[in-house]
Structure 1
C-alpha cells in the first residue's frame, strides 16, 4: 500500500507564478504544518509557483526536508488571453477533455502531467506530499472519480488536503478535513 497527500496551496494574492500568500495564507501555512506534522512524511514535492512553495515551507523546515520543485504540478493554463466568461470555458473542459481555449492547455494534457507525478510518487512506497493548484487538482480528482466535476471543483478550499492511497491497483481518494 502506498499513500500520498495532495495539497491545494493556501490563500494567495493572485494567480501569477510569483504571487505570494496573503497574511491569512501565511497563517494557514503554519496551521497546515501543525496538521501535517502528525503524518509520516518522507518527501515534499511542489509546484514551482511561489504560493505552493510558501504553503509547504513551514512543514519542510519543521521536518528538515527539501522541497523538490516539479514543473508538472504547476497550474493548468486555461487560456493565454483574458476570458470574460472563463467559468463557462472551464466547465466545458470537464465535459470535453480535448477542449482548449486560445493558447490554453487541454484537460487531457494537464491531467496527464499531474497523473505522471502522482504515479511516480505512489511507486516510491514512501509517504509524500504533493503541493499543487485548484484546477489541476480538480482535473486529477475528476480522472479518478468522474462525479467530481466542475461544481465540485468550485468547492475546493485554500488549503485543501486529499489522501491518495494505492492498494493493489485500486486508487482510493479521501478528502481530509483541514481547519
Structure 2
C-alpha cells in the first residue's frame, strides 16, 4: 500500500529527564511538559487529514496520542511492533558506561552490523522487521496515518528503510513529539520532512543536528545525540 504517514516520537517522560535506557513495557507515563507537548500536536495536525492513529504498547505513546485521537474522534490502534528497541540487561540504566555501550552498538547498526545486540536485547534486524510488519500493513487508502513510536525505533527505521537518505541520518537528534513525514510504499519509502518542533523553553538540539531537508539523497550531519535521546 502506498501513501503517507507521520512518525511521531512520544512526549517527555521522567526517564528522558535522567537519560535512562527505558524500553520495557508498560514504561512510565508523560511528565506535565510531555502532556503539554501531546496537546500541542492537535494544532500541529489541524490542517492535515488523518485516517488512523497507531501507538506502541508502551504507556507514553498512548498518552501522547490521546489528545489528537480525541480531537479527531479516532480510536488509537495498538501495535507491539512499534515499541522501543529493547536494550536487554541495560534496561533502566542511566550511568555513562551503559549509555556509551548502547551508543556504540547503535553506531554499529548504522554502519551495517544489524545483527549485533546487547545481552538479552534486540538486534537492529529484529527491530526493523517487526516495525516493517506494522508500517507496511497500514491502510493508507483513505488518507494519512499518524504513528506514535519511540526515538531509536523511528530513527533506525528511517535510516535503513527510506531510499532518499544515508544510514547516518539515524544519528540525528529527535525531539519529543518530533514529526517525521514518510511517503511511498514498501521498498520506495521516502523521508519528506523531519519537524523537530523544538520546545522554545528548552535548549536547542546539539550543534550539527538540524532536521534533514528533503532532497534526492539526504546525508546526515555527524550529530552525537544525547543519551536520553537515543532510546526511550
Q: Would the TM-score normalized by the shorter structure come out above 0.5? A: yes
1:154: how far off? Answer: 4.7
Which one has the bigger helix percentage? 1
Cα pair distance change 1:125/1:171, threshold 3 Å: farther
CA distance in 1, matches of 2:54, 2:6: 10
1:2: how far off? Answer: 0.9
CA distance in 2, matches of 1:168, 1:75: 21
Given that 2:65 and 2:148 are in contact with CA atoms closer than 8 Å, whether structure 1 keeps it comes out as: yes
Higher RCO (CA-CA < 8 Å; seq separation 6+): 1
1:112 paired with 2:129, answer yes
1:92 paired with 2:108, answer yes
Given that 1:4 and 1:122 are in contact with CA atoms closer than 8 Å, whether structure 2 keeps it comes out as: no
The residue correspondences of 1:116-127 to structure 2 (distance < 5 A) are 116-121=133-138, 124-127=141-144
The residue correspondences of 1:52-63 to structure 2 (distance < 5 A) are 52-63=61-72
SS in 1 for 2:137: helix
Structural RMSD (CA): 2.2
SS in 2 for 1:58: helix
1:25 paired with 2:26, answer no
Q: TM-score, normalised by structure 2?
A: 0.70
Instruction: Give a deviation string over 1:91-138, Cα, whole Å, max 9, x none.
Output: 223221000110111001101111121111155453111110010111
Given that 2:6 and 2:145 are in contact with CA atoms closer than 8 Å, whether structure 1 keeps it comes out as: yes
Q: Name 1:129's counterpart in structure 2.
A: 146
The aligned length equals 178
- Higher mean C-alpha displacement, 162-171 vs 44-53: 162-171
Instruction: Give a deviation string over 1:51-93, Cα, whole Å, max 9, x none.
Output: 1111110000111100111000011102333562322222223
Which one has the bigger strand percentage? 1
Unaligned segments of structure 2, at least 5 residues: 16-21, 198-232
CA distance in 2, matches of 1:153, 1:124: 32
Given that 2:13 and 2:34 are in contact with CA atoms closer than 8 Å, whether structure 1 keeps it comes out as: yes
Q: Name 1:147's counterpart in structure 2.
A: 166
Q: TM-score, normalised by structure 1?
A: 0.88
Given that 1:33 and 1:56 are in contact with CA atoms closer than 8 Å, whether structure 2 keeps it comes out as: no
Unaligned segments of structure 1, at least 5 residues: none
Q: Which of 174, 178, 192 in structure 2 is aligned with 1:160?
A: 178
